[in-house]
Structure formats: structure tokens, C-alpha cells
Structure 1
Amino acid sequence: MTRPYSDLDPRTELEQRVSADMASALTKRGATVTHHGTNASHAPSIADADITVEWTVASKRHRLLVEVAKRSDESEFTSIVEHLNRAIAVAPGMTTNVLYSGLSTSVRMARFLRNENQQRERDGRAGRIVFLPLNRLQTHLSHWAAAPAKAYPLTGLTSAVARWPEFATDLAAAQVFQEEVFPDWTEEEQELDLARLRELAVRQERLRRDIVGLENKLRERGVTGQRAHKFLIYLFFVALYEDKRGIESRATLSGFADYRTKMSPADRADKEFKDWTVHHLIKKDIVFDPDIVTSGMFDRYERLELPDEFIVSTVLPIFERYPLSAGGIDFIGAVFEALARRAEKDNRIGQFFTPETAVISTVRLVSPRPSDVVLDPACGTGRFLIHAMDAMLANAVATATETKEEVEQKVRRERLLGTDIDPWVATIAKMNMYLHGDGKSNVRPANGLALSAYDVFAPRTPARAHEAIDVALTNPPLGDVNFREVAAELARSGSLGKVKAAPGSEAYESEIAAKANRWTKERLRVVPHTCVEQTRADTLSKRVTDWRDKLLLAMKTRDERKERHARRHLDAAEAGLAEVKGAIAAGKLTYVTAGNNAKGGALFLSAILDYLKPIRDAGAPEEWKGGIVGIVVDEAVLNTSAYGDARSFIRDNYFIKAVVSLPRNAFEFLARTTAKTSILLLIKKPDPAIVQREPVFFAKAHTIGYTSTGVDDRNDFPAINEAFNIWRQAAPSSYAGGVVSPARLAKATAKVPLCDGLVSLYQLSDESPTERLDFAYNRMKELVATMGERILLSSVIEPVTRIPNTELVDEEALVHSYAWVRSTDGRVRPKGIQDLQYDTKDLREIKSGDILVSGIDAVRGAIGVVEDDCDGLIVSKEFFTFRVRESSEGKVDAQYVARLLRSEKMRAILEGAITGVSNRTRLESPAQLIALPIPPLPSIKVQQSLAEQVRAAFRAQDEAAKVFAAIDKSLSA
């Protein structure tokens, strides 16, 4: 077995083995490999390098100096630079670079090498230094040696070295080498991707602990709350700014000491800066950066009152632990999230804590182009804009009028717009955008629901967002938003026009209310509105009818007094009705909103409709022409009766292209909320009358790279995005003469890899515009449709309710022996004596043979049959009990029914039938369960056979539990 490089003696074996392996891999590709030591000793310090590799490409000579070591890598830095300089001086016409390989490359060493490369580039000097850990070097050389000579040419080495700015960690370096030298080595690519995810998970958790620990240290110094939050954001921004600036970072121990030494005597003596060097760095240097000046991100800067001793002892050691230039971690966002999570932010929390994987997937669904104007009206820390920018830059090419560089500059400077209602959060987004490559100048503090009301982005183009946006990407507040307050604030600010009445007067408030109502009617059409005149007309019409009937009755009975009374009221009602009908005919209408609050997702979809261009791509098929929105919404918008009008609004105004259901724990780790959410991909309709003919791409992400407790290796998004891209490419082929052809549509949909329970294409019903739009509901419809012959569950079981006998229950103590049903195996078990605060009327007694169903966890399998050992126990009102119908006794086995309901497909049908709240999926009544369709039951003999297998499994479970209990007892004896 080949010994790993890490086990070899660096004095007598390491260089020799690496040299031999390099010769085996590279000689057949035209390279010359030279070891500058002997068979028994390593290369001397005066040698050009430990090993040199030379080759020729297109008459150009290349040399790679290879340095291998097992010592501390920082100690190698000086000799590496000396070897490089000496080699270039001896052969200036040769392209010379260095590959350093040690056991691992520390953050400090990676920074040294990066700084050296940056300085050489600035000075116009040749030679770059890259690195690769010994274990990866060995793996790569082995793969290289095993491949034919024509595979993996040496040009890959040159390409890898050219990407030196990406060498931030050993894994990042290995990925660059794999991509450039071995582009088709998928096994290595997958292994590196997985390793990178794990590394990021560890680094993110360590960063979270460090941030919380740093905040604790600030608390000890009396810096708390928002002030501590700002201090930490500024500190991390300085560290990232310095890393982005390159050369010698002043946010390292050595760089900080050097900067402090070079401060002028006057500044060192100034009370403002005497012991606050970081404040001096910001105030005297960073704030004068032209990009920072124009963005205004430090306009609200508050003096960073942290003494140098604290910075040196507590802050800088944290910064030196992290490869700040490495991708994968949004450091500014991580600081914001760690502190906001700790403080339990308000209901806008979802806005800030969108999982990175969900952001990336949403951007990929939308696929913004370099020519698009992209808006996030609730941008939080700017993640959607950052990933949109990355996607746009990755696809940037020269056009007929612009070079590639000009296109890239326009993307960064003009085509990324963001707003956040919180000015401090908008400042953080600016910082984050700047650190990720620009775009920060177009982030503004503003209410994202009102961007078409005034020139938010002036003097930029577009100044206001009205029908000017190609792409909207956002995760608005998951909770309710008071739209009345939003509208009233806009009216008071003058954004909705000048207010004529004097502030504080009754007329002023009336004018504000009128302007606010008018604006919500025009711009937040998703909110139900009532026409005051029509409501009055309806009331008066009924009044006219009522008084006319009373008049006729009075005339019939010849009661003159009642006749005069009825006629007077009838005349008044008819006059009022005529007046209000005249106002309606003249279009003099007044609308008032129904209620005060609505889900943020619904409100933003209404506002975004005004922002989007009617036509984004004139050459696209009809349903793909308009402006596009990718948005994360609370599923209450998609599935509750309260938002039926919102769904009708969505279907009237958008083509629904994709609905991607996220798991219930998607936001739990980051935001501590179990709100159920979905990603929507919608395209603005040119005409609300057009009916959608393409099916909707529905998908369910069971895993997204996060669980309720942290980062997870599993992620369904890549497969979902790949399937959607196939559908996006296939959809145009379904058109014939500009209209969707059913025959062609069938061929197009056949190309999509439909994965059972993960991806499906569903056609919306034209008959029900308020129909639910969530994945679970449409999946249920599909499963029921494919069930074939079916019966209702109510035909075989019925609910039973047994209130405990009050004579046998101590109502004062409220102490009972409870039972419950486990979701893991569907078994009803005793829970023991509990003191729970329930009224007796809310408790239920269960009997052997009952089917017990948990209202909360039914969709997760908490359905089982009561056994003899639970007979007579009590369950709380969260449980429902059922019995086999008398008419079905002898034909239906309760255990078979319970197992049928626990099956994967029946639980999916149940979920689609009962999902109706945003934060949990629960059965609200027994009627919801027994209304489910089920396949016809087999013979009672078949049912009993399966039921006996279940009971046998339970008996085996009990026996195993006894064995384990005996083992535990013997171990503790």
C-alpha cells in the first residue's frame, strides 16, 4: 500500500517520492522534472527549489518551482520568495511560478502568499505563488499518472496559477486545480464540494461562537444593544475592507502594530485617537475611500470607542483565524444574524435569515441576465443582490456597443437596486455589496412597498421603480405588515401629493386617510377593498325594498299614519339611492381597505407588479415575455381561505412558472421560526385577461443544506434547479402559432425529469381562481387522481368522543393517566400520570381497539391503534379517536386502517387536505380525516394478516426493550 506523503521523512523520503511521482505524471506530457537533492537527502537551501518542473508551450518556456515541507509553513515563506526571485533573475525570459505543498496551509500563510502576489502584481513583477496540501498533491499526481499522455495537458497548470486570487484555503486551492487540470474528474469534484460544505459548516459555527463571545466581551465593557451591534459590524467591515484592499492588512496583529507606529505624533497625542487606533483608521483613512464616500455607507458612523489593548488581545486574534477572502461565508450577514437571533428580532426576521442555499436557488430559477435591472425591495443584508450580481457577471459578454468590461461595470454600478425600511440595515447591505464587488450605491433606506410613489433611486436611472424593473428578487417579511400605517406614513411624508389641510386638524386626518386609501387601492390591489358608494347603494337598495313593502302593507290595511311614515322613509331612501347611483355612474368612488394587516409576501407581490416591466423579453414565448419575480412567501398566502383573493390576484396578474416548497425547518436554525414557506417564480402578464396554459413547475425541497440544528450535507435544490432549467428550455417548443398546443405541450413536459415527491408539473384549474397554490395540495390532487377506484374513509370508520366520567376524576387536582401516539412507529403508549391544565370537557377517554390520531403530528405518522395496556387512559383535546363502524365490523381491521393512513402516499394526501396555516400542519377536526378518499380495502383476511405482522413487530420491540433494560441493569450493578 502506498504510504501517504504526510508519513514520509522530510529529510530522506518526502522530496524523493514527490519528485518520482511528478516524473511519472508529467514526463510523458513533455515536462522535465528535477529533484535538487539526492536519493538520501533533501535539497539544500541554495538550490533553485526542492523540485523544478519545466515544459514548453507554443515556444514559451515554463518553470514551476515546487517546495514541499512538513515544518510550520510560515517559516517557509521567506525561502519561497527568495527562490522565486533568484529563479526569475537567472532566467528572466522564462515564465516562473511556485507551488508550495505542506501538511496544511494556515490562514496566516495563505495571507502571506496572497499579499506577496498582490504586491508583485502592483509592482509589475513576474512570478506567482500557489499552494496545495500534500494529501491533495498526492491524489492529483496519482490521477495524472494513471491517465493517458494526451489527457490533462500541462496548460492546466498555467491556468490554475492564473487563478491565484482564489487560493484562500487548501480546499479552495484543490478545487481550482481540479477545475483547471482535471475538469472531467467528477468524483474529485463531488468529494471537494462535500468537503467544502463540511468545512464551511464548521467555520460558520465557530464564527457564530466567536461573534457571540465578542459581544459578551463588549457587554463586559458596557457596550450593549444597538451600540454593540454597530461596533461589531464596523469591526468586521474594517477586517474585510483591509482584506479586500490587499497588501498588508491593518486588521492583523502585525499590520495593526505597523499602522499604529506610523500614526503622526499629533494624532497619537489627540484625545480622539490616542488609544483608539481603529477609530483613527476609519476616520482618517477608510471614510475617504471614493467608493465609500459616494455610497454614504459611513454617513451614520459612530465613533468606535475601543482601546487598542482590547483590539489586540480580543478582536484581531479572531480575525486572524478566518480566511476572509474565501468564498462561502457572508461575514457581515453572519454578524447581523448572530446578534439579531440572540435579540429575537421582530417579524421581519425572515427577511434577514434566508438560508444561503435558498437564495442561490431562487437566483438560479430567475437566471438574471447582465442587461437586467434587478431589484430587491426588502434587501436586508443584500444577499439576493450579491448572488444576482455574481450570476450576471458570470454571463457577461461583449455586445455590439459595449466591451465585456463595460457590461460588467454597468452591472455593478447601475443594474442592482435595493431598499430596506431600516436605515441601519440598508447601510449594512451597502457594506456587504461593496465587499462583494460593488452595487452598494443603489441601496437606499426606503419602504419597499412604495418605490413607485417617488424617486427613490434619484439621480440613478430608473429614479423610481414604476414599470422599470426586469427582475425582482426578495424575501419580504414573513409576518403581517400593517399596510394602513405604511400608506398613512407615505401620505404624511408628502410622497402621495401635497396635503392642503393644516397638520393636527380633523380635515388633515381626513385628507391623509383619503390619500392613503387611494394609494392602497391603486398600488396594493392584493388587499381587499370596499367601495363606500357601492356599499351604501346596496344598503339603500335594501332600505327602499323594505319601506316599499311596508308602504304597500299600510295601504292595504288603510293605516294612514303608517302609510305617511313609510312614504317619508321611502322617499328619503330613493333620493339617497339616486344620489349614490349618480356618483357611481360619474366614477366618483371612494374605497376603503378591509382590515389593517396582511402577509408581507402578498403585499410585496402587489407592489412588485407595478415595479416590473410589462415586457422584459419581446422575443420570448407569451408566458415568458414579462418582468420576472423570485420571492419567498409564507405559505398562508398560498393555501389559507383568508388569502383566496390574493391567489386570485396572483393568477390574474402573473403567469405562475414555479412553486418550490421549502421544509418546515428551513428558517428554524437561522431565524428560530417554523413558518412554512415556498419560493414563487412569477412572470408579469401583459394582459390580466390572458389565461395561463402552461403547467406550473411544482417541487418540494425535503432538504436544503440546513436542518433545525445546523448545516446539513443534503440539499435538494441542485436537482430542482436542473429539472426547472430543462423545463424552461422545453417550454417554448409547446407553442404553435403563439398558442400552447396540447400535443406539443405533452412532448415538452415529457422531457422534464419528474421525480416522485420532488418535482411535478401541474395544470391549474380555470374554474377556481382562488384554488390553493401550494405543493402539498397539488400533490394530493395528483395522488387522488391516480388512485383509481376509491372510497371515503368515513364509510369504514367514525369519530367517537368519550368524556371521562367526572365521578372518577379528581377535577381539582387535574391529575390523569395519559396516553399518546408516537409518530416514529404509530404505536399508542402510556405517558404516565400528568398534571396538565385541561378542563374535563377537553379530555377524551380511549378504549382498546380505538384508532388514535394526533391532530398535530398526523402528517408525520402519529396514527395508531389503542392496545389493551392503554385501555381507559386519557388523551388531551389535541387527539382524535375513531372506531370501526358497526356496519363494517368483521370487514375492517382497525390496525390495517391505521397502517394505511400512515403510508407515505396517504400522509401526503392528508397533508394536502389539511395544510392551512403558516406555522404548522395540523388536523383541526375529525371531519377532515374521514373525508379523505382511500383505496378499497382488501378482504378481512388480508387485512388481519398484515395487522398480525404489525402486532408481532410490537411484541418483538417489547422483548428487545426488556433485553436492553437487563443489560443496563447489569452494567450499573
Structure 2
Amino acid sequence: MSASANPRGRSRRKPTGQAARQPDLICNLRDLTNEASVEALFVNRLIFNRLGYADSDVQLKQSIDSREVRVGRKKVQYKPDYIVNTDGRPRWLVDAKAPDENLDDYVAQCASYSILVNGGFDEENPLQYFVLTNGALTRVYRWDNHSPILEMSINDFDPSSPRYADFAQLLSASAIKRQLNVARTKQRATLTMRNAPVEEIKDKFSWCHQYIYNKGNISQAAGFEEFVKVVFLKLLSDKRIRQLHPNLVTAERFDIPLEDIRFSRRWIDDRNDTVNPISSIQYKEFLTEFEVEIERRRKKRIFRSDDTIRLSPEIIYKVVETLERYYLLALDVDINGRLFETFLGATMRGKDLGQFFTPESVVKLGTALANFKVGRDHCDTVLDPCCGTGGFLITALADLWKKIDENRLLSAREKQDLRSIVANRHVVGIDIGRDPNMARIARMNMYLHGDGGSRIYEADALDKALVEDPADPVNLRTDLSELRTLLHEEQFDVILTNPPFAKTYDLHTDREAAILKEYAIAAFRPKRGQFRAKALSSSIMFLERYHDLLKPGGRVIAVIDDGVLGGDSDAPVREFIRSRFIVKAVVSLPGDAFQRSQARVKTSIIVLEKADICEPQGYLDRQGPVFMYACRYVGIDDPARKRTLPVDRLNRQRAREEIAECAHLFRLFEAGDPAVADHTVEPEKIADRMDVKSCSQRPAKLVPLWEANGLEVYPLSALLELVDPADEDIIDRDGDAEPVTYLRIRYDGFAERGDEIVSSDSKSPVLVRVHAGDVVISNINAIHGAVCVVPKECDGCVVTSEFTVCRAKESVDPKVLWLLLRSPEARADLLLLATGIGRTRVRWGNAADLRLPTPPDDLIAAARRSLNAADRFERMWSGP
């Protein structure tokens, strides 16, 4: 039987002569002409003859399951040619190619397949390698890496070759068994840790929160304080793991020797002769060491020197058991912000919570717009005067360090020194929050990310005098005195912040009255020549405080309420901004950017530069063009709901891309590049309003493109007409009381029957009945997709005056029109046509001007078929 006819590809060795040794190769390269010959003459002989595997150890292609893997942006079905097993587990796989094929083209799909295989095993990654070969060239890769660890030509497969010895040490049957024995021994003394997605960590935090609250007989706020201490020790343990095993912690799963893990059940069990060792040993050791740093004025206080963790040993053990396998330092920068949000979300209203927590993508966008400068001759000093849990400060520190590390002109020693200077002198935070103490939480965060929190202060940044309260403890008054000196002697290059919107200062208390009267911005609306302000929003007061604290030419990057940028009542505030700053950029954020805080305030990020002199008049002499950009995804990538949906991953990617694009365009704008003309607004445009919607955006931008592609474009008034309700369809609240059912329109564009009430109980003076086939537009929520075609089951439901009821004109399919009205392009134009700031309204007088293209007939027909099919399925599943 020939070698090619043998299903396992076995061949007899050729005898060697005594005069000169011939290489003992698996086969000759000239015999390899296609993929099939590479499998039969090379791979089969390699696996079964050379490496010592039995038939039962090897799965061939026909018995291997295919999986969907990603290649670039595409997803394809793929399976390798061989999977080699030991002890019932896959250990390595092989993909054979024709001799003329480039192996680089197949690395991604092999790696993706390997990751999917290992993903099917909870506590291990059995498949350790994949092999790519075209006969002429063979490469070995670790399962989670795209770079080969071994590369061999066909001539290297001589058993006397050192490269073949390396190959066999990795992949022979005997070598795999040795590796498994070592792994089993190691497994007994290691812990498999994971880099889990943020949603999973949030669930674990929530579980711990409920467990502590239910089992510890402790309040929500007190539970948070104690859990922070435990998680702080967890993060210290993870920080130690990163220092000891920096190359391991980047993997999705990795094994760490238990002796290197302090936050583990094993560590507690080994100290069973000690009561509550996490508190009495670990926490006490940290406090003792940290107290020395405080005395040397290198750190500021985070915990009391005599503090303990006031949770029972059983509760701490359960929390350790829940969290020990998760590596938290890779989660995101503001870990304590996540923790804080999880706990306080159970006890505080969302809008109150919102003053402490800024979405991560908003933080990253603000940091990108700041464009920090750092080098030998200059390093920006950064301030967040309402720093919350420290998210902006941590991201700023990371950005500054990254720029230091990437500076090729600096020596290693210079980089080390500059990193230390930045961490301890150039990042400053202030926060007034005391219950819980936000400054301490921010210090904790900064400490864990490389800065001791030496310049995080507990104070009211709006108090220009920083008046001490005699009732405060000595250490707090000492810190306040230090901050007063710092702010007197130093001004900042950059202020990066998200100020609280809900807080106001008024004249009802002596302290707030004294603070308020220090603000020039409060005198913009004088009344009878006297001090006029009875109350003023802290976010408006901060605009003046930014100016006080910045160097001339310094920059503010701050979240701001769009009401300040565009509302009529805040026109004097905009006058104040123009008189003291040069407006560099306004970046609009989505209306749901702060949805995690249950806040629907429409916001933007404003970039201001402190002007050399204050000029209430003639601002145009120094004000140049303004960069304006409208974000669609920043902020909404981190939804408030607990359930994770596939769209969340997509929105996170879109938010990252949007941040990169916005920052890149802003750099071009600052360089004077004409390529950003579409995002450039002339200074005259901000003479009144400053919001992106008013100054930069115009509806119907796509009309020329539609028309150029041969589409007919019509105003909405040519496709829809307002319904003139019959007398019997108008229900007067003050007339006869009758039972009615509200029509509810969801954001997904579907209608359903809502609450049943008696008409006399309605808050709206008039209700209108709608009928099947009517097109109903929510005046407030149309921009979010709340537009519907009334279904039969909702015939006779009622709507208030906050809805516009229309009917499609003859020959217009209402459902096709519904699709067009809910398209992103139409909703964007509806937003521009809407009235109001923040809580916008789309009234018919504005919506009638919306321009829509008429799709081709074949597309309309296809849409009708799809909609009708969807209706049939909906009715099938919902029942009669």
C-alpha cells in the first residue's frame, strides 16, 4: 500500500547510508501540491507517526463542529482540519493549507475558533495551541495570541533538528501529558481569575450590596462605607497581582498562585486562629503603613487610624468568595464610582445620584478635548472642583502618564520623575460631599491608580473665602487651610469637570448668602438697584469660579446644561461667558447621556479659554470661530437597565469611535485646517444662543443627496394631513364623565392600550379619540421614535393635546410613512425642527416642514411585505 493510500499516512523510513547522513524528513516538499496532499503526506504523518497520538486522540475535519468566527468585520463559518485531544479535552488544533497559500490570512479565524472552544469550559482553557501549516512553512501559536511562538520550514522536521525538538516539547503526546501533570499540580495551588465584563461585575456588586444589607442589619449608607473598605483591600490585592504577574493579567482567564493572592478564602482559612483576619490583619496593616505616609504629608486621610471593618467574619467571607475570582483593575478607571452608584442607587433618587457619577464615555470625551500638555518644560496642572468619585482625575492622570511614556525625548529616569511629579502635584480635586465622604472615595480611587490623593480636598469649591467651620475636626481644618494657600498661590492650566446641576445657593442661610454675594454673575439681573439673587444654580456659579481659578489662557472643559446655552432666561449667563472667555468648542451630548442617573437634562460639553481681560462689550474682537459637534452615542453606551442587550456592545464601540472622531476633528480645528468647515461656526453665530442645535445644525441637509439619486422629496404636509376630529371624538374633561383608555406609544414605534381612567380625572382639559390607521405623533417623544400607526385593537383610545393626530393622504401607505418618520435621519431633523431646550416639542407647525424622500416602488413593496409578515407573527404569538 502506498503512503498516500494509507489513511493515517504512515511510511517506512528510508535506510541511511554510512558515508553521509540524509535528513529524515516527513516528506518531500515537491510532493506537496495542494491542501489534500499537505494533510495526507505531511500532517497525518506528523501527528500519528512522529508525535505519537492514537487514532482515538484525533478528530478529523468531518467530525469537527463549525463555529461562527470573526474575520475582520465579517462573520464566517469555520472549522479546522484536526483537533488533537488528551484525556477527553482538546489540546491543540491544526489547519492545513495549500503550499502556495499565505498563513497570515488564516491566523484570525484559528485564534477566534480557539477562543470559542475554550469559552465552553468554565474553569480552564484546555486548548493551548493552534498550528498553521502549508507544508513548506509551519507555525505554532498560543491559543490567545496572534504572534507565532515557533516557526519551522519543512527541513526543520528532521528529528535531529533543534527546532523539531522544541516542537515536540510542546506538542508531542508525551509532552502534553507532562504539561497536564504539571498543570494539575499547579491547579491545586492556584486560583483561576477572570477579566469579566462590567455588567457581570455590577451584578456581583449588587448581590454583595443586598447581602450586606440583609445579613448585616446595617443601613444602605453604612453598608456602602464598609463594603468600600473590603473592596479597597480586594483592589490592593489585585494591584499586588499585577505587580507580580504583569504578563498574565491581560488574558481573559489566568491562573495565579494562591500564595500571591491576599484577597481569597484560602488566605482567610490559613488564619483560622485569628478572628476576622481581613479586618484585624490586612486592614490594620494597611492603616498602619498609610498613617506613616499621612504623617510625612505624602498622603491624605482615607480612613481613620483606629478604624475597623464593621462587618461580621461570615459576611466578609461571603463577599470574598463572591469576588475573589474577578480581577477588578481591568474593569474601568472609576471602580469606586461604579461601586458608589450600585449602593446609592438603592437609596437615592437618580437625579441626586447624578451629581456624583459621570458616564465613562463622557469622561473620556472631556479628557480627549482637554488635550493635556506635558513635557520637560511644562506640565498642565488639572483641577476638578467637584470631583465626585474622581473619574475625571483618574482619566486625566492616565492621559498625562501616557503622554510621558510616549515621549521619546525623555530618558527613563526623566519619565519616572515626571510621572511622580504629575501624580503628586499636578492633579487636584475638590468635593463638598460628606454623606458619604466623596473626597475620601476619590482619594481611594487615586491611590489605587498611582496617586496618593495628596491633593484631593474636602471643601466647597464655590466658597471663595473657604471659611472654616470651628466644629470641623482638626485634620479637616488643616486641609482647608492648605487648600486656601494652594488656591491663593496657584492657578490652573485646565479645569475638567461635571458640576452638580440640582444644587442651588440662596439667601436663607448666612453661609450661602455670604457665598452668593461674592459672585459677580449674580448681579446680571439687578432689581431696583439692590442685590437681586434669591437663589442661583451652582452650575452657573461655577462658570465664574472657573474663571477665578484658571491662568490666563487656561482652559475649561465642563459639562453644561443646554438650557444655559440656549434658554431665553439664561441670556445674561451667556453674556457673562462671552465677556470673560473665548468659546472654543461646544459638543452636544445625547438627551439620554445621563440616563443612569435617571436625568433627562439635555447637556453639552463646553470648551472655554480664559480671556486676558474682561470685556462685556465687543467680544467679537477676540472671539474666533467655534468648533461644534453633535454626539449620538457618548453616554448612551452605558444604559441604566440591568439587562444587557446585544446593542450595548455596539453602542460602546460607536461611542469609542465617536470620541476618537470628535477629538481628531477638534485637533484639526485648532490647527486651522479647513477640512473641518462643516463643524466650524463663525463667532457671530454665538451672539445669542450657543447650543449646537441653534448655531450649527440645519434640517434637510440630505435633501440634495436624495434628489441627486433620483428620489422625489416632499414635505410631511404633502403626505399627512391633520385629523379634524368629529364632535363625538372630542371629550371635554368638564363635560359628562365617561371611562376612557389612553393610547400609549412606545419608543419602538408600537402602540398599546394604556391606563383606563374616567375622563373627568384627566389632567388634560380635552381628550381626542383616535382610530385604526391614524398616524399619531408624540409631540415630546417623536425624536425618540414615539410615532405609531394606530392598530385595530387600539381603536377608540384617547390622546391628550401633547399628541398630533394625522391621517395619510390618498396613495400614501401609512406604515411605509411610519418607517420613514422613525428613521434616524427623520428623527434628527425633527429634533432640529422642534421647539424648546432639553424637553423639546415637535408641533405640527414645525413638523409639517419635515422633508422626506419617497422610496422606489420595489422598496415600498418589500417594506409592505415585511411589515405584513411582522403583523402576522405578532398576532400569532399574542393570540386572539
Q: Which residue of 1 aligns with 2:531?
A: 591
Aligned pairs (5 A) from 1:739-888: 748-750=673-675, 752=676, 760-764=678-682, 766=684, 769-775=687-693, 778-780=696-698, 783=701, 800=724, 804=728, 814-816=738-740, 819=743, 824=748, 837-838=761-762, 841-846=765-770, 852-863=776-787, 874-881=798-805
Equivalent-residue separation in structure 2 for 1:863 and 1:634 (angstroms)? 27
> Contact (CA 8 Å) 1:633, 1:680: kept in 2 or not?
yes
> Contact (CA 8 Å) 1:640, 1:772: kept in 2 or not?
no
Aligned pairs (5 A) from 1:720-739: 720-731=658-669, 734=672
Equivalent-residue separation in structure 1 for 2:370 and 2:878 (angstroms)? 56
Please report how far the alpha carbon of residue 967 of structure 1 lies from its aligned counterpart in structure 2 after TM superposition.
Answer: 7.8
Q: Which residue of 2 aligns with 1:357?
A: 361
Equivalent-residue separation in structure 2 for 1:808 and 1:728 (angstroms)? 54
Q: Which residue of 2 aligns with 1:484?
A: 506
Secondary structure at the counterpart of residue 780 of structure 1: coil
Letter in 2 for 1:610: D
Is residue 135 of structure 1 aligned with residue 143 of structure 2?
A: yes
Is residue 685 of structure 1 aligned with residue 611 of structure 2?
A: yes
Q: Which residue of 2 aligns with 1:228?
A: 223
Q: Which has more helix, going by share of residues?
A: 1
Please report how far the alpha carbon of residue 233 of structure 1 lies from its aligned counterpart in structure 2 after TM superposition.
Answer: 0.8
Please report how far the alpha carbon of residue 721 of structure 1 lies from its aligned counterpart in structure 2 after TM superposition.
Answer: 3.7
Unaligned 5+ segments in structure 2 are: 1-25, 27-46, 55-83, 90-116, 126-139, 157-162, 164-192, 245-259, 468-477
Residues 466 and 309 (structure 1 numbering): CA distance in 2 closer, same or farther, change over 3 Å? same
TM-score (norm 1): 0.58
Letter in 1 for 2:326: Y
Please report how far the alpha carbon of residue 463 of structure 1 lies from its aligned counterpart in structure 2 after TM superposition.
Answer: 0.8
Equivalent-residue separation in structure 2 for 1:213 and 1:418 (angstroms)? 31
Letter in 2 for 1:520: Y
Aligned pairs (5 A) from 1:451-600: 459=482, 463-464=486-487, 468-477=491-500, 479-484=501-506, 488-489=510-511, 513=513, 515-521=514-520, 525=521, 527=522, 529-531=524-526, 535=528, 590-593=530-533, 595-598=534-537, 600=538
Secondary structure at the counterpart of residue 454 of structure 2: helix
Residues 730 and 765 (structure 1 numbering): CA distance in 2 closer, same or farther, change over 3 Å? closer
**Higher Rg:** 1
Q: Which residue of 1 aligns with 2:208?
A: 211
Please report how far the alpha carbon of residue 844 of structure 1 lies from its aligned counterpart in structure 2 after TM superposition.
Answer: 1.4
> Contact (CA 8 Å) 1:108, 1:320: kept in 2 or not?
no
Equivalent-residue separation in structure 1 for 2:566 and 2:721 (angstroms)? 28
Secondary structure at the counterpart of residue 440 of structure 1: coil
Equivalent-residue separation in structure 2 for 1:657 and 1:438 (angstroms)? 31
Residues 447 and 960 (structure 1 numbering): CA distance in 2 closer, same or farther, change over 3 Å? closer
Letter in 1 for 2:557: G
> Contact (CA 8 Å) 1:849, 1:867: kept in 2 or not?
yes
> Contact (CA 8 Å) 1:260, 1:277: kept in 2 or not?
no
Residues 701 and 657 (structure 1 numbering): CA distance in 2 closer, same or farther, change over 3 Å? farther
Residues 801 and 613 (structure 1 numbering): CA distance in 2 closer, same or farther, change over 3 Å? farther
CA deviation vs aligned residue, 1:88-118 (integer Å, no higher than 9, x gap): xxxxxxxxxxxxxx969999999xxxxxxxx
CA deviation vs aligned residue, 1:607-656 (integer Å, no higher than 9, x gap): 21211111xxxxxxxxxxx2112222333333333333333333333333
Equivalent-residue separation in structure 1 for 2:830 and 2:342 (angstroms)? 37
Of residues 706-715 and 778-787 in structure 1, the stretch that sits farther from structure 2 once superposed is 778-787
Equivalent-residue separation in structure 1 for 2:877 and 2:380 (angstroms)? 67
2:841 to 908, 916, 922: 922
Q: Which residue of 2 aligns with 1:450?
A: 463
1:386 to 394, 414, 438: 394
Please report how far the alpha carbon of residue 388 of structure 1 lies from its aligned counterpart in structure 2 after TM superposition.
Answer: 0.6
Equivalent-residue separation in structure 2 for 1:963 and 1:400 (angstroms)? 67
CA deviation vs aligned residue, 1:23-70 (integer Å, no higher than 9, x gap): xxxxxxxxxxxx9x983399xxxxxxxxxxxxxxxxxxxxxxxxx998
> Contact (CA 8 Å) 1:453, 1:464: kept in 2 or not?
no
Unaligned 5+ segments in structure 1 are: 1-19, 21-34, 43-67, 74-101, 111-131, 155-195, 262-267, 269-273, 491-512, 537-589, 615-625, 735-747, 755-759
Equivalent-residue separation in structure 2 for 1:320 and 1:911 (angstroms)? 48
> Contact (CA 8 Å) 2:700, 2:829: kept in 1 or not?
no
> Contact (CA 8 Å) 1:229, 1:339: kept in 2 or not?
yes
Secondary structure at the counterpart of residue 777 of structure 2: strand
Letter in 2 for 1:389: L
Residues 915 and 278 (structure 1 numbering): CA distance in 2 closer, same or farther, change over 3 Å? farther
Letter in 1 for 2:399: A
Q: Which residue of 2 aligns with 1:405?
A: 416
Q: Which residue of 1 aligns with 2:311?
A: 306
Residues 419 and 899 (structure 1 numbering): CA distance in 2 closer, same or farther, change over 3 Å? same
Q: Which residue of 2 aligns with 1:498?
A: none
Letter in 1 for 2:550: L
Letter in 2 for 1:140: S
Q: Which residue of 2 aligns with 1:421?
A: 432
1:201 to 198, 203, 220: 198
> Contact (CA 8 Å) 1:780, 1:908: kept in 2 or not?
no
Secondary structure at the counterpart of residue 310 of structure 2: coil
Please report how far the alpha carbon of residue 340 of structure 1 lies from its aligned counterpart in structure 2 after TM superposition.
Answer: 1.0
> Contact (CA 8 Å) 1:660, 1:680: kept in 2 or not?
yes
Equivalent residue pairs, number: 668
> Contact (CA 8 Å) 2:462, 2:515: kept in 1 or not?
no
Please report how far the alpha carbon of residue 894 of structure 1 lies from its aligned counterpart in structure 2 after TM superposition.
Answer: 8.7
Identity %: 23
Equivalent-residue separation in structure 2 for 1:419 and 1:107 (angstroms)? 44
Q: Which residue of 1 aligns with 2:582?
A: 655
Residues 692 and 282 (structure 1 numbering): CA distance in 2 closer, same or farther, change over 3 Å? same
> Contact (CA 8 Å) 2:586, 2:626: kept in 1 or not?
no
Of residues 901-910 and 463-472 in structure 1, the stretch that sits farther from structure 2 once superposed is 901-910
Residues 229 and 518 (structure 1 numbering): CA distance in 2 closer, same or farther, change over 3 Å? same
> Contact (CA 8 Å) 2:383, 2:496: kept in 1 or not?
yes
Please report how far the alpha carbon of residue 394 of structure 1 lies from its aligned counterpart in structure 2 after TM superposition.
Answer: 1.4
CA deviation vs aligned residue, 1:392-433 (integer Å, no higher than 9, x gap): 111225779993222111101111110111141111111111
What CA RMSD, in Å, does the superposition of the two structures yield over aligned residues? 5.1
Residues 965 and 591 (structure 1 numbering): CA distance in 2 closer, same or farther, change over 3 Å? closer
Letter in 1 for 2:832: G
Please report how far the alpha carbon of residue 717 of structure 1 lies from its aligned counterpart in structure 2 after TM superposition.
Answer: 3.8
